[in-house]
Amino acid sequence: MKQIKHLTLLLSLICLVLFIAGCGKKQPNEAPQELTVGILSDTFIWKQLVQDAQEKNISISLKKYPNSNALNKALAAKEIDIAGSQTISAFDQSVKENNLNNLVAVASSYWAPMGLYSEKYTKITQLKSGDTIALPKDPTDLGRALVMLNEAKLIKLSKEFDGIGSLDKITSNTKKLTFDLIDVDTIKTPLKNYEAVILPNESALKYHLDIYKDALTIEVVVPKPYVSILATRTDNQTDKTVRQFIAISQSKKMIDYVSTHAKNGEQIVKIPIEGLLNYHDSYTEKLEQPSGL
């Protein structure tokens, strides 16, 4: 009888241990957590994030929007759970313009460098008086382009420059360059129409430009205002699945993947979001993380 009791107790303990061990593992039939992520550009980064999230039993649906305003309005309306593909400065501008006070930036994401391209010249020093440079007319991208021209010493900007593009913020233009504002995604052959053109990363890829080979100059160190971020609603920022997605997006696996597969200088930026919030202090302030270009 004692042997039977001991055997019964032993079997019970074994079952308990197996049950506890099983609780820590994903069950084969466990339903995946679902997230809808709004994006502006369908880059290789997002495709890889979908795969990595799937391994953690998170099902990601990507929904593309034409601009930051449409993206953030969709987030505020709960059409999506997370908004990506936009810089911290573009996000802040959109929130301010549309009074979207229920939105918050929750994590740094990635950076994709902007470049100055030309079919006519191979060096930036070849630009001459009277040449016309096309700049993106989007206010945030225009501000970013002006910062790059300022750093290339082609122009000087007003000390009051706040990052939002405006040609009247140029205080010095010694080469007497002319600037045209264009919609960089609708002009078929911008390089044929101008001596040079500044293009955001995604637009450069669209025109089959290689930032390593074709750019006259680029952003050489990661600028705080132009790091892409992940945003969500204030009532959703502590959601477990949202936090898991953030962790996946900044994982070593993701950092290594982007470093290996970057098509045009893209890289994951992993810093606390608080490190980006003071970008207003200086639009030429840089992150410590080098671009690697």
Cα 143 to chain centroid, rounded: 17
Q: 93 and 40: one domain?
A: yes
Smallest CA-to-CA distance from 255 within 266, 263, 244, 245 is with 266
* Residue where a domain stops, chosen among 185, 218, 251: 218
pLDDT in tens, 159-192: 888 777 789 999 999 999 999 999 987 777 778 8
- Classify residue 171: in a domain, yes or no: yes
Q: 107 and 128: one domain?
A: no
Q: Which domain holds residue 199?
A: 115-218
* Residue where a domain stops, chosen among 218, 247, 279: 218
- Classify residue 9: in a domain, yes or no: no
What is the pTM for the complete model shown? 0.80
Contacts of 7 (CB under 8 A, 6+ apart): none
pLDDT value at residue 290: 54
Inter-residue contact 172 to 198 (CB < 8 Å) = no
Q: 56 and 139: one domain?
A: no
Number of domains in the chain: 2
pLDDT in tens, 126-162: 999 999 999 999 888 998 999 999 989 999 998 888 7
pLDDT value at residue 277: 86
- Classify residue 7: in a domain, yes or no: no
- Classify residue 42: in a domain, yes or no: yes
- Classify residue 12: in a domain, yes or no: no
Q: What is the CATH number of the domain that holds 86?
A: 3.40.190.10
Cα gap 17→19, rounded to integer Å: 5
Q: 126 and 213: one domain?
A: yes
Cα gap 14→17, rounded to integer Å: 5
